[in-house]
Amino acid sequence: MQNLKPLKQPIKHALIATRQAFGETLYEVMKENKSVVALTADLGESLRMLKIQEEMPERFFDIGVAEANMVGIAAGLALGGFVPVAGTFAVFMTRAFDHIRMQICQNNLHAVMVGSHGGVSNALDGGSAHALEDIAYMRALPNMTIIYPVDANQTEWAFRAAATLDGPVYLRLYREATAVFTGKDDVFKIGQANIHRTGNDVTIVAAGPSTVMALTAREQLKIAGINAEVIGVHTIKPLDKETIIKSAQKTKRVVTVEDHNINGGLGSAVAEVLGEEQPTLLRRVGVTQFGESGTYPQLTARLGIDAAGIVRAVQQIVNN
Amino acid sequence: MDVKHLEEKARGLRKQVIEMLYAAQSGHPGSSLSGMDLLVTLFFSGLLRHDPVKSDMENRDYFILSNGHACPALYAVLAERGYFPKAELKKLRQLGAGAQGHPHRGSLPGVEISSGSLGQGLSVGLGLALASKLRKNDKRSVYVMMSDGEQEEGSTWEAVMYAPKEKLDNLVALVDKNGMQIDGFTKKVMPTLDPLAAKYRAFGWQVQEIDGHNLKAIWKALVKAQRIKKPAVIIAHTVRGKGVSFMENSEHWHAGAITLEQYEMAMEELGS
C-alpha cells in the first residue's frame, strides 16, 4: 500500500477505497501468517483477493454465492485452529446472520467477517446493493467487535489489529475511493476514537469514510464562525464512551454522521451513551429510507449524509 | 464389534433419555430416540478417535450434532462414555446447567459446537474438514449428524454442494431420516424432499441407505464411509420415538412434557 503522509487540505488527498487497502493488507498478512485463510462468496475480485487466489490458492476458498455456508465454514476453520477472513458485500452479510449469531458469536470464535461496499458506496447498483442495516444487527450480537475504518490508511492498521484480536470481528469497508487523511502518525487502537480536529462549539462524531464529509463540513462551518470538533469512530463496538462524553461536556452539542440507517448505528450508539451518562443536545445524520441508483456524491446529497447535510444539522443544533 | 453389547447399551441410554426428559418436563424425545443407535455405534464401536478424559485431544475426530434438539441423546452418550458425571444429565434444561436445552459449545465436554438453529452443522463440519486438510499430516475425520427435516434448510444444500468441490473424503454426514418433523410427516410437509439419496448423489457424494436401528449395518456403513475417497453420507432410515410404543411415529412427540404415567410406561417398555 502507498505510504501516505497526512496533508492539511482534505480535498487534495489521495483517493483510495478502503476495500483496496484491505485486499493488499490481507495479502501481506497471509504471507506473514500461515494460519490466516481467506474466504469469499464469489466476490474475490471486488474484495481485492485475486492475488491471494493466485499465489496462495491452498488458503483461499471461493465458497460460491452462499454466504451462510461461507460463515459456517469459517466457524469450522476457526475451531480447527485457523484465522478465517470471510468477505462479501456488507449487504449480503445479512444472509449469514444466523450463522454469525450461532456459530461465530455464541461460540466466541476468532473470525473476521468483512462487509465491503458498505452504506451507499456501491452507489450505482441501487437500493438492493446498499448496506444500511448491518451495523445495527451486528451491534446486537454479544462478543462482536465492529470496525469501520475512516480511510484506506487506517484500514491497514485496522485489519492487522482485527487479525490478532480474540473473538468475532465485523470489518465494514467502502467501495467508493475516499480521501486518505490519516497518516502513519495517527494512533490506531481498537476501541479508541480519534479526535481528528479540535473545536469548542459542537462535536461531530463520524463513522467510517463519512468522517471525510465531517472534515469538509468543518471547513464550511468555520466560515460561518462555528468551530467544530471532529471525532472519527473506527470502532463502533465497543464504543469509546470516554472520548465522546468528554467532548460533549466541552461543546454541549453533538452531531453524529454515518452512511447507515439512522436507527441502530453510530447515532444510536452515541445517543445511548449520552442519554445515560451525559445528556446532551444531539442530532443524528443518517439514512431514513432505502437507497436508489445514482453516483456517490448524488446519493449522499439526496440522502442528506454529505457535508451539506452535516452543516444543516450543526446549524440547527447550534441555533437551538 | 459386540452388537449385543451395544444394543444393550442403546437400550439403557434410551431409558436415560426418558429419565432426563421426564425430570426436565420438556425436551425432544422423538429425535433423541430415533438417532440413538447411530450415536451409540459411533461412540462405542471404536470408530471415533476420541478421549473422554481429554475431550480437546489434538488429533481427535469431530462429532457435530447439527440437529441440536436431539441433544439429550448426545448428552447421555457422552456421560456414559465418561466425558462428565451422569449427575449433569438430571439438570437438563435447568438454569446454569451444562446440559442446555440445545447444545452450547463449551457448556459440557464433548459438545463441539452450538446448534439448534437447523442447517448449520454441515457447514461447520466442512470448515473442520478443510482445517484438517490444511494440516498435511492430520488424518482426522469429521462426522456430522443431521435430521431429515433439516434437509429443508437452504443452507444445508449450500454445504452439500460445496463438500465435493474440496474433495473432502474426511467428512461423513449422517441423516437421521425418521420421516417426521414438527408439523407432522415429512412426506406431507415436504413431499419433494425424496428422493434424498439421488440429490446427494447428483452433487457428487457417496451415498449409503441403511436401517438406522441395525447396529451392524450402521457400523458397516461408517467403516465404508471412512474409506471412500469422497464426501460420504449415510441416510439412516429410523423411527421417531424408537423403543417407546406410544412415541413411535407419533405426531405428538417431537417435543413435550412426559407425564408420570407415560414415564412409567416408557421405562417398562424399555425394560431392565
> Looking up cell 420438556, which residue turns up?
B26
Quote the strand ranges of A180-294, DSSP E. 194-197, 202-207, 228-233, 235-237, 253-261, 281-287
**3-state SS assignment for residue A236:** strand
- If phi > 0 it is left, if psi is from -120 to 50 it is alpha, else beta; for residue A205 that is beta
ipTM of the complex: 0.96
8 A C-beta contact, residue A173 and residue A113: no
Average pLDDT over residues B72-97: 97
Cβ neighbour number for residue A222 with a 10 Å cutoff: 13
The predicted-structure confidence for B174-207, as pLDDT tens digits, reads as follows 999 999 999 999 999 999 999 999 999 999 999 9
CA angle A81/B67/B180 to nearest 5° reads: 160
Residue pair B230/B167 in contact by the 8 Å Cβ criterion: yes
CB contact under 8 A, B112 and A79: yes
> Within this chain, do residues A118 and A221 fall inside the same structural domain, yes or no?
no
Separation CA A59–CA A81 (nearest Å): 13
Q: What is the pLDDT of residues A185-196, one digit of tens each?
A: 788 999 999 999
Range of the domain at B248: 3-270
pLDDT of amino acid B3: 96
Is the dihedral angle over the CA atoms A29, A31, A36, A41 positive or is it negative?
A: positive
Q: Of A179, A207, A233, which one is at a domain's C-terminal end?
A: A179
pLDDT band for position B137 (cuts 50, 70, 90): confident
Question: Do A268 and A142 lie in a common domain?
Answer: no
Average pLDDT over chain B, rounded to an integer: 96
pLDDT at B251: 86
Residue B136: pLDDT band by 50, 70, 90 thresholds? confident
Instruction: Flag whether A74 is in a domain.
Output: yes
Q: Is the pLDDT score of A6 beyond 50? A: no
Domain check: are A210 and A166 in the same one?
no
> Is B114 in contact with A103 (Cβ distance < 8 A)?
yes
For residue A294, what are the contacts with CB-CB under 8 A and spacing of at least 6?
Answer: A123, A124, A302
* pLDDT, tens digit (0-9, with 9 covering 90-100), for B17-53: 999 999 999 999 999 999 999 999 999 999 999 999 9
Name the DSSP letter for residue A131.
B
A285 in any annotated domain:
yes
What one-character DSSP code corresponds to residue A64? Answer: -
Q: A145-147 and A235-237: which strand pairing?
A: antiparallel
Predicted confidence (pLDDT) per residue in A12-66, tens digit: 689 999 999 999 999 999 999 999 999 999 999 999 999 999 999 999 999 999 9
> Taking the CA atoms of chain A, what radius of gyration do you get in angstroms?
19
Enumerate chain A positions whose Cβ falls within 8 A of a Cβ in B: 37, 58-59, 61, 63-64, 66, 68-69, 71-82, 84, 98-99, 101-103, 106-107
CA angle B90, B95, B98 (to 5 degrees): 55
Sign of CA dihedral B165, B166, B170, B176: negative
Q: Residue A188 falls within a domain, yes or no?
A: no
Is residue B147 helix, strand or coil?
strand
Q: Which is the catalytic residue, given A24, A67, A156, A229?
A: A67
Which chain A residue's Cα is nearest to B130? A77
Q: Is residue A32 flagged as an active site residue?
A: no
**In a 10 Å sphere around its CB, with 0-12 CB exposed, 13-18 middle and 19+ buried, how is residue B125 labelled?**
buried
> Where in the sequence is the domain holding A105, given as residue range(s)?
10-179
What is the mean pLDDT of the segment spanning B127-145?
A: 94
Question: Which phi and psi (to 5°) does residue B66 adopt?
Answer: -80, -35
In this predicted structure, the answer to whether residue B84 has a pLDDT above a threshold of 80 is yes
Mean pLDDT for B70-90 is 98
Q: What is the average pLDDT across A155-170?
A: 96
Q: Is residue A4 part of a domain?
A: no
Percent of chain A scored above 90 by pLDDT? 94
> In the prediction, which pLDDT does A2 show?
37
Domain count, chain A: 2
* Residue A175: predicted pLDDT: 97
Mutate: best of A60, A69, A100, A113, partner B, most B CBs <10 A: A69
Q: Would you say residue A131 lies in a domain?
A: yes
Phi, psi of B33 (to 5 degrees): -85, -35
Task: Decide if A73 and B162 are in contact by the 8 Å CB cutoff.
Answer: yes
In the numeric block, the cell 499465489 is attached to: A55
Same domain as A115, residue A230: no
Note whether A72 contacts B115, CB cutoff 8 Å: no
CB A6 within 8 A of CB A182: yes
The CATH number of residue A290's host domain is 3.40.50.920
- Asked if B245 and B37 touch (Cβ cutoff 8 Å), the reply is no
pLDDT digits (tens, 9 = 90+) for A39-53: 999 999 999 999 999
- Best residue in A40, A101, A102 to probe B by mutation, most B CBs within 10 Å? A102
Q: What is the CATH number of the domain that holds B89?
A: 3.40.50.970
Residue A320: what pLDDT? Answer: 72
| Contacts A66 to B, Cβ<8 Å | 155, 158, 161-162
Decide if pLDDT at A227 tops 50.
yes
* Phi, psi (rounded to 5 degrees) for A202: -160, 150
C-alpha A158/C-alpha A236 separation (Å) is 12
Provide Rg for chain B, Cα atoms.
17
Interface A:B, Cβ pairs < 8 A: 101
Q: Check whether residue A154 and residue A202 sit in a common domain.
A: no
CA-CA distances (angstroms) from residue A197 to A154, A214, A276, A278, B240?
Answer: 16, 10, 26, 21, 66
Identify the pLDDT of residue A3. Answer: 37
Say what percent of chain B tops pLDDT 90.
95
pLDDT of residue A222: 97
Distance from CA of A58 to the nearest CA of B (A): 8
CB contact under 8 A, A107 and B113: yes
CB B76 within 8 A of CB B20: yes
Q: Are A107 and B114 in contact (CB under 8 A)?
A: yes
| B159-177 per-position pLDDT tens digit | 999 999 999 999 999 999 9
Query: Which residues on chain A are in Cβ contact (under 8 Å) with B140?
Result: none
Alpha carbon distance B67, B103 (integer Å) = 9
> Domain end: A144, A179, A214, which one?
A179
The residue-averaged pLDDT of B236-260 equals 93
Same domain, A226 and A290: yes
Question: What are A247-264's pLDDT values in tens digits?
Answer: 999 999 999 999 999 999
Distance CA B1, CA B3 (A): 6
Q: Which residue of A has its CA nearest to B115?
A: A102
List CB contacts (< 8 A) between A84 and chain B: 127
Instruction: Please give the pLDDT value at position A12.
Output: 64
> Residue A89: phi, psi to the nearest 5?
-70, 145
The answer on A158 and A254 residing in a single domain is no
Number of domains in chain B: 1
Q: pTM for the whole thing?
A: 0.96
With contacts defined as CB-CB under 8 Å, which chain A residues touch B131? 76-77, 79-82
Rounded distance between C-alpha atoms, residue B178 and residue B33, angstroms = 10
Q: Cell digits for B9?
A: 447399551
Closest-CA distance of chain A to residue B127, Å: 4
Residue B146, classed as helix, strand or coil, is strand
Nearest-angstrom CA–CA distance, B104 and B41: 23
Confidence of residue B138 (pLDDT cuts 50, 70, 90): confident
CB–CB of A206/A267 below 8 Å? no
Task: Determine the distance from the C-alpha atom of residue A86 to the mean position of all C-alpha atoms in its chain, rounded to a whole number.
Answer: 16
Q: Which CATH number does the domain housing residue A60 bear? A: 3.40.50.970
